[in-house]
Amino acid sequence: MIYSKRLIAFVAVLVATSSLPAVAQEETTNDFKAFLSNLDVHGFYEIRSGYRTRKDKYEKDMSIMEQRLQLDLSSYLDWADFEVKSDIIGDLVEEQADFDLREAHVFTSPLEFMDLKVGRQILTWGTGDLVFINDLFPKDWQSFFIGRDTEYLKAPSDAAKISLFSDLANLDIVYTPKFDPDRFISGQRISYWNSNLGRLAGRDAIQRTAKPDRWFRDDEIAARLYKNINNYEYAFYTYHGYWKSPGGQNTAKTLAIFPDLNVYGASVRGNVGKGIGNLEFGYYDSHDDQSGKNGNINNSELRFLVGYTKEVGKDFTAGLQYYVEHMLDYSRHKNSAPSGLTRDRDRHLITVRLTKLLMNQNLRCSLFTYLSPSDKDTYMRPNINYKVNDNLAVEAGANIFFGDYPSTFFGQFQNNTNIYTALRYSF
């Protein structure tokens, strides 16, 4: 399904880009020549391998074992910029070859105060560091947990982004004609807590979903209104679409579903003392369960984040964030949810980032930790990256999960704790 959709999007972009300048034959030829002469080809080749450090009876011992070739083709004409970035993957865990079109878009500024980017693209906004409130663009949690480069946490959107600029404020509107969900934890590569089975599960119980997938009806719209005042960046956000990872299940409990979701939020970021501070909040209106009575659907929530980053030593940066999810109709949720499936009303999360650069900044040691005092679980991401020369980099890292309970957000992934190494040649 994912593949056919990718294919359609890819073809659509190709058709769009190739037919647009087809006004006159000659013009087309000239444009084509210019397009070719401006063509820039870059990318990388990578080998990445990793293993689980504990036995997981629902998953393979290999957490990741793949070769990847990324090709990034870009070019431009007077009126537009073009980019196609695609990955070809030989995946030994899935025992298959895969093609992942990361980006395929056209960018143009039709008016002095307007930018337009159409096609497959990576989209990000908001102020959190690996914590997202108002950024409801698709994430690839599976890639994140098995040790792919952090870049792969962002999954592409098939969307149109319109940006309008003025002295008063700037406005971004992103329209996604067909819902782009997260590449969520389904059990395929990462074992998880299956509440219906009341136990951990993985390849034996890959989550089946009912995904909204009608073009132009099951669509998403996200907007950001923002302004920089004395280098303090203020933003307001709204989103109308669906929970990006399954946010409930059907009544028969056979399928995971993506209930309607509306989000309203705001953020500010700027210098505070010698560092950078950020504040962000969001109101998650779980629209299919506004009363909070439906135990099968996520409760509405308030989400709040405060963060601070500072250089604490030479080439040594530390970042701290506090994040909370507050359920709004908790008592009704608690009464209606099947016993044993209730969680605390508030989920508290602290993140700590430490990054140290050594050896003329060619060696980067970093540790990102998520720690939840309420869930009593922890997720740590140590990583060491060494640039051997201008093209070659080697890397080693781990994804370490622990927790007191098998059902909490990070605790459920305990058996997925893994270590990995990678070698990347960029060109």
Where do contacts with another protein occur on this chain (CB under 8 A)? 42, 44, 81, 107, 115, 117, 121-124, 150-151, 153-154, 163, 165, 170, 226, 228, 231, 233, 269-271, 274-276, 278, 309-311, 314-315, 317, 357, 360-362, 364, 387, 389-391, 393, 424, 426-427
Task: Give 18 or 150: the residue with its C-beta nearer to another protein.
Answer: 150
Write down the least CB distance from residue 120 to another protein, Å. Answer: 12
Task: Give 121 or 286: the residue with its C-beta nearer to another protein.
Answer: 121
Write down the least CB distance from residue 311 to another protein, Å. Answer: 4
Q: How many whole angstroms separate alpha carbon 232 and alpha carbon 245?
A: 32
Write down the least CB distance from residue 61 to another protein, Å. Answer: 30
Q: How many whole angstroms separate alpha carbon 140 and alpha carbon 152?
A: 7
Write down the least CB distance from residue 293 to another protein, Å. Answer: 38
As given in the structure block, the two tokens for residue 389 are 């020369």
Write down the least CB distance from residue 421 to another protein, Å. Answer: 17
**Which pairing describes strands 256-257 and 260-272: parallel, antiparallel, or unpaired?**
unpaired
Task: Give 17 or 336: the residue with its C-beta nearer to another protein.
Answer: 17
Task: Give 29 or 228: the residue with its C-beta nearer to another protein.
Answer: 228
Q: How many whole angstroms separate alpha carbon 138 and alpha carbon 147?
A: 18
Residue 247, judged by CB atoms within 10 A of its CB (0-12, 13-18, 19+), counts as buried
DSSP string, 111-162: ETTEEEEEEEE----SS-SS--SS--S-BBHHHHHHT--GGGGBPPEEEEEE
- Helices H, strands E: what count in the chain? 4, 23
DSSP string, 214-235: -TTTS-EEEEEEEEEETTEEEE
List, in sequence order, every residue forming a beta bridge with 306; answer none if it has no partner. 279, 322
Task: Give 254 or 391: the residue with its C-beta nearer to another protein.
Answer: 391
CB 265 within 8 A of CB 133: yes
Write down the least CB distance from residue 378 to another protein, Å. Answer: 24
Q: How many whole angstroms separate alpha carbon 41 and alpha carbon 71?
A: 7
Write down the least CB distance from residue 92 to another protein, Å. Answer: 24
As given in the structure block, the two tokens for residue 315 are 């080439």
Write down the least CB distance from residue 42 to another protein, Å. Answer: 6
User: CA 206 → CA 7, 188, 322, 351, distances in Å?
Assistant: 24, 6, 32, 30
Task: Give 9 or 393: the residue with its C-beta nearer to another protein.
Answer: 393
Task: Give 4 or 361: the residue with its C-beta nearer to another protein.
Answer: 361
Q: How many CB atoms lie within 10 A of CB 291?
A: 9
Task: Give 19 or 391: the residue with its C-beta nearer to another protein.
Answer: 391
Task: Give 19 or 150: the residue with its C-beta nearer to another protein.
Answer: 150
Q: How many whole angstroms separate alpha carbon 52 and alpha carbon 60?
A: 8
Task: Give 19 or 271: the residue with its C-beta nearer to another protein.
Answer: 271
What own/partner pairs with CB < 8 Å and gap ≥ 24 does 2-6 have?
A: 3/99, 5/158, 5/178, 6/99, 6/100, 6/101
Write down the least CB distance from residue 426 to another protein, Å. Answer: 4
Q: How many whole angstroms separate alpha carbon 190 and alpha carbon 102?
A: 22
Write down the least CB distance from residue 322 to another protein, Å. Answer: 18
